[in-house]
């Protein structure tokens, strides 16, 4: 996955969340910094092909 706009973030989904304002959100672990995780609503992300 990668973030669509703004600052760059790319990695693998490692979790799921919901909140009062986000009905579908994902925890994405960085491809470049293992262990570093950001959370984003589904609309902020896009799927990309898996790294070979």
Is 30 part of a structural domain of the chain? Answer: yes
Is 52 part of a structural domain of the chain? Answer: no
Residue 49 is predicted with a pLDDT of 86
Split into its structural domains, the chain has a count of 1
Query: Shortest CA distance to 37 belongs to which of 11, 4, 16, 2?
Result: 11
Is 29 part of a structural domain of the chain? Answer: yes
Is 51 part of a structural domain of the chain? Answer: no
Task: Tell me the three state secondary structure of residue 43.
Answer: helix
Residue 38 is predicted with a pLDDT of 97
Q: Which domain holds residue 30?
A: 2-45
Residue pair 44/3 in contact by the 8 Å Cβ criterion: yes
Residue 16 is predicted with a pLDDT of 97
Is 19 part of a structural domain of the chain? Answer: yes
The residue ranges of the chain whose pLDDT is under 50 are none
Active centre residues (catalytic): 3, 38-40
Is 27 part of a structural domain of the chain? Answer: yes
Q: At 29, which CATH number?
A: 2.30.30.60
pTM: 0.85
């Amino acid at each position: 996955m990668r973030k669509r706009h703004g600052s760059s973030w790319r990695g693998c989904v490692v979790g799921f969340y919901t909140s009062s304002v986000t009905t579908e959100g994902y925890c994405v672990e960085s491809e470049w910094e293992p262990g570093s995780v950001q959370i984003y609503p589904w609309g902020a992300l896009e799927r990309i092909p898996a790294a070979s």
